Amino acid sequence: MTYLRELADGVSVSLSIHVQPKASRTRIAGLHGDAVKLCITSPPVDGKANAAVIEFFAKLFKIPKGAVTLVSGEASRDKRLILAGISAPQARAVLQPLLGP
């Protein structure tokens, strides 16, 4: 699972995502190459899509929005997030049912 990497501190993970803006509903739509595909309803203007991505993953993993950091891909569909306060096994347990077999 190259989309998810545990960081050296053991309580944070790096998550690679591919964003599809202006979707009919916000949801995880499986994998897109080596990234989790996230469909969001927000348009990619004025940082609205990035804010929606952060809010979605904060709710999904039940962590504060401040624990979700966009570290690359601010103006791209391919993004990398750091999720603080969650281990790789915890993140996998949340994502696996949404990604399918």
> What is the rounded CA–CA span in Å between residue 87 and residue 68?
13
CB 52 within 8 A of CB 41: yes
CATH number, domain containing residue 47: 3.30.1200.10
List the domain range (segments joined by +) for residue 90: 4-99
pLDDT value of position 101: 67
Lookup result for tokens 């998810």: 4
Q: pLDDT digits over 38-50, tens only?
A: 999 998 888 889 9
pLDDT value of position 76: 94
What is the mean pLDDT for each group of 10 consecutive residues in the chain (101 residues)?
86 95 94 95 89 96 96 94 95 91 67
The mean predicted confidence, pLDDT, of the chain is 93
Q: In this structure, how many other beta carbons lie within 10 angstroms of the beta carbon of residue 45? A: 8
Q: Say how many domains are in the chain.
A: 1
